[in-house]
Structure 1
């Protein structure tokens, strides 16, 4: 058996066993003096500073917080949502949730009340842990128990006795419940079992090639799958410290963090790399490894990365339902040359192909495949699999060459990829249509004219009778604010077009490709 196969076998057994204990696997088994996370801030003068959290800090604090959460009635299987930025309390809270055998439901801090309500109600959330700046978004959710960070939170943790035991939910027990972007309807719940940790560990080790001597920085937000799976969970599994940057992204701040902390292994969305490439701010930064995920990476950015960082930027592919499954892997046991336009080859433990024009994963021949179906949505689950249950269909079209290199073509579900975020048109349309002066609406993604964000959201609006052209400018602003303030900041339409009617098929379906081609 090869080293890769032996490693996979060990992880599958360890993370899939009936006695698998998330708190033990993610925290308690590590050296208590080892650094788990570096929380980075950038001061007004541009100089980064950081505070560190060790595994010992996390173990002690999460045990005490687990006692406090249990005192609020949280038990095994309960859903606990966390609406929090990248701060020490975030990781502490997640570990406390897992000690009780409860399930973490992530809430992105850019969400407004509408997106939060959908996830909280769908998951049956018992408690939300948040921070003062985000607390007002929860005011309209009647009867919801809320715990807010701050002095009272700190006193609650310090004053609680450490929770004695950690609940072992086993490999099939639920760890996380995330939601998809909602491209063909409401966002769908994805329950992540503990055994999925084998897949996450495999990608960190083989896909990203993170080693003990790396200074690792996954810049994705943990409110979404890539940042949660590989910026929080996988580093904890492997005992590899990750940087959690608490500021807003700018090319200057990113370069400052890289320089100050000597980052060697960086992972982020293509929009980060594009912005860096156009900024002229990247000087004196050398990376050992650079990886990209979230949308296709263009060859010019790959070439820029090699020239600037001394290493190419390797493209990787995955989904909320899968984790990362295809990539231009870094580890020496599985590394292969990059081919222009290719997102690479299947990760060890994954068998992939193209079925009916879609990129597909063989569920029967992929020991790292863990998706069992959408939460309380059997019909939506059935749409993802072939009739015999063998193939999981990603909904993304593409091709594979004879050497096993995959090439992405398009998103079947019209997902919009803006600044690394997957945005479902239906979600945005559902907000816009609530305006009394809107009678019909369609949302599409169009190439960003500045070449930085990948795509931008654009809306095509049919107005009610009596709305004249001199009203359009003000109405466009109202519609943008409606999405930005009522749903999510990253999803508002950058441009609003007013049209007399929308192109539709005879059955009434909007032909979005015609709008994109305008």
Structure 2
């Protein structure tokens, strides 16, 4: 077996071969050997193991199934860089390499179970390798996006007290600048070519590391990963997840948001710093034995995405609404997706008109899902389920999702309120453990018997949940409560609008009014702005209730966004209210 990483160049002539009697789901975790080896715990109507480690109990089990001929002879990880570089690892190869990586972390970095490690890597194979290695060792992994600044890195180091950071030579100077006052940081590991004073080279150490390693024994509720929240409404908080909340949840729930088999190829385009990447390109597809496809994507650009979908036998794609909004603006007649059959959107609400355009141009539905850093998937449109454009679908198991008022009373259908998850008498598997080292913020997420998401929505008579907006995004104008998403969606249906963000703006008479920040499409940039404003206002009035139209409008070159591409309405709101 070769232990090459990005230098491993392979052909792309591989196709799936499915043996008879294939196990599509790792059912050994629900029957034997887990229940035979470990004392089990009760969780509602299901038996859960007291001990569980995703590396040994999932990844290594698929590796054994490969050896026994019970899984297709396809990669576990299939990575390309868009320039001819390609890596394909089987579960067996992933296992061997991650054991070597585990020894690097233990022997050369001096880490042990319970220590925290920050990993800031782009979409390169080392991210998946180090993640698996941390699971094997019980080291708590804290991913970060490669777009972090020195200030961001310093904040995360100080908040987490991480003993090690793993990144590339591109971010090493920023780390050195930020780490000057972080005396708890013992080791800096570089997962790229080159040398730098004070840094260890991961790939060099990996080649020399032994491949023998015994996976640490972890409990289902032991901390496993932590993610800093996006910080759209305040300083980022460190949401800590357990082996169970991320690793075991996709196994224990038969009807889950991601409906895959070992014959599927899953491509999640999310940045490696966010929980959706861990869920969509590590835990959930590998729990089902699927192939994880990764493109280096130094820039998310529509031509690259479309060419990749046309060239490779990708069956499932997961992307942010921004991705689909970008793709539908292209002429798709020259692209043919031979294998694509399942498209998923998540991260923020997807505009219904984008879903309709994608469907008309490709013949494919987009299945919208909804989740948070703290919760994973909360709601989703499952395959085979009727899609109601604009809805986030129904609650994902094992969550009991309700719409409640400020006194935690469950509201009837079609009544707007707070989106909440029932957490008493029993906290559901999937929910984060806590905000690390911040009990006050953790306690503030619960009210009565519910975890409060901070989002507002409503549930229809069929159980579908509809997003209205963040609690602090809601606009209260003359007593009318207006969610920005509906107004933004209406604006986006006009051909003049490329992007739009809606916030409250102070008004002496009404208290607040709706203001829209609009990025114009290329063909409309030279048009008279006063005339265009009136046209867009009338357009919104026709598509929504008349009181929801934007009484103020500003045309801008771009909108402020988080590093994940989410529009930062809070920044625009601060500007409007003089708090910038």
The answer to whether structure 1 residue 110 and structure 2 residue 152 are counterparts is no
Q: Could you say which residue in structure 1 is the equivalent of 2:577?
A: 503
The correspondence of residues 368-379 of structure 1 with structure 2, limited to 5 A, is 368-379=429-440
By how many angstroms is 1:304 displaced? Answer: 1.8
Larger RCO, structures 1/2 (Cα 8 Å, 6+ apart): 1
Q: Could you say which residue in structure 1 is the equivalent of 2:56?
A: 24
By how many angstroms is 1:399 displaced? Answer: 0.5
Q: Could you say which residue in structure 2 is the equivalent of 1:267?
A: 318
Whole-angstrom distance in 2 between the partners of 1:492 and 1:343? 19
CA contact (8 A) 2:29 2:251 kept: no
Whole-angstrom distance in 2 between the partners of 1:298 and 1:492? 14
The correspondence of residues 13-412 of structure 1 with structure 2, limited to 5 A, is 16-31=48-63, 34-43=74-83, 50-71=86-107, 72-140=109-177, 141-142=179-180, 143=183, 144=185, 145-150=187-192, 152-196=201-245, 197-201=247-251, 206-247=256-297, 248-281=299-332, 283-285=335-337, 287-330=340-383, 335-356=384-405, 357-364=417-424, 367-386=428-447, 388=448, 390-412=449-471
CA contact (8 A) 1:222 1:232 kept: no
Whole-angstrom distance in 2 between the partners of 1:326 and 1:231? 19
Whole-angstrom distance in 1 between the partners of 2:29 and 2:521? 40
> CA-to-partner distance for each residue in 1:433-473, whole Å, 9 max, x for gaps?
xxxxxxxxxxx996552579xxxxxxxxxxxxxxxxxxxxx
> CA-to-partner distance for each residue in 1:49-73, whole Å, 9 max, x for gaps?
6321222222112212211211221
> CA-to-partner distance for each residue in 1:180-228, whole Å, 9 max, x for gaps?
1223331111110001123344789631312222222111112111112
Whole-angstrom distance in 2 between the partners of 1:150 and 1:236? 26
CA contact (8 A) 2:222 2:243 kept: yes
When normalised by structure 1's length, the TM-score is: 0.76
Count of paired positions:
439
Residue aligned with 1:348, SS: coil
By how many angstroms is 1:19 displaced? Answer: 2.2
Whole-angstrom distance in 2 between the partners of 1:127 and 1:89? 16
Whole-angstrom distance in 1 between the partners of 2:59 and 2:382? 27
Larger Rg belongs to: 2
Whole-angstrom distance in 1 between the partners of 2:453 and 2:420? 6
By how many angstroms is 1:255 displaced? Answer: 0.9
When normalised by structure 2's length, the TM-score is: 0.68
Residue aligned with 2:235, SS: coil
CA contact (8 A) 2:258 2:284 kept: no
For structure 2, list consecutive stretches of 5 or more residues without a partner in the other structure: 1-24, 35-39, 67-73, 194-200, 406-416, 475-483, 489-500, 504-513, 523-555
By how many angstroms is 1:353 displaced? Answer: 0.7
The correspondence of residues 442-461 of structure 1 with structure 2, limited to 5 A, is 449-450=519-520
By how many angstroms is 1:372 displaced? Answer: 3.1
Q: What's the C-alpha RMSD, in Å, of the aligned pairs?
A: 3.7
Whole-angstrom distance in 2 between the partners of 1:8 and 1:445? 52
By how many angstroms is 1:368 displaced? Answer: 3.2
Residue aligned with 1:296, SS: coil
Whole-angstrom distance in 2 between the partners of 1:16 and 1:312? 35
CA contact (8 A) 2:310 2:337 kept: yes
Residue aligned with 1:77, SS: coil
CA change 1:94–1:53 in 2 (3 A) is: same
CA change 1:8–1:57 in 2 (3 A) is: closer
Whole-angstrom distance in 2 between the partners of 1:310 and 1:100? 45
CA contact (8 A) 1:16 1:170 kept: no
For structure 1, list consecutive stretches of 5 or more residues without a partner in the other structure: 426-443, 453-475, 505-509, 513-518
Residue aligned with 1:120, SS: helix
CA contact (8 A) 2:369 2:393 kept: yes
CA contact (8 A) 1:385 1:391 kept: yes
Residue aligned with 2:163, SS: strand
CA contact (8 A) 1:85 1:246 kept: yes
Whole-angstrom distance in 2 between the partners of 1:493 and 1:373? 25
> CA-to-partner distance for each residue in 1:233-281, whole Å, 9 max, x for gaps?
2223222111111022111100111111122211111111010001224
Whole-angstrom distance in 1 between the partners of 2:51 and 2:568? 48
Q: Could you say which residue in structure 2 is the equivalent of 1:462?
A: none
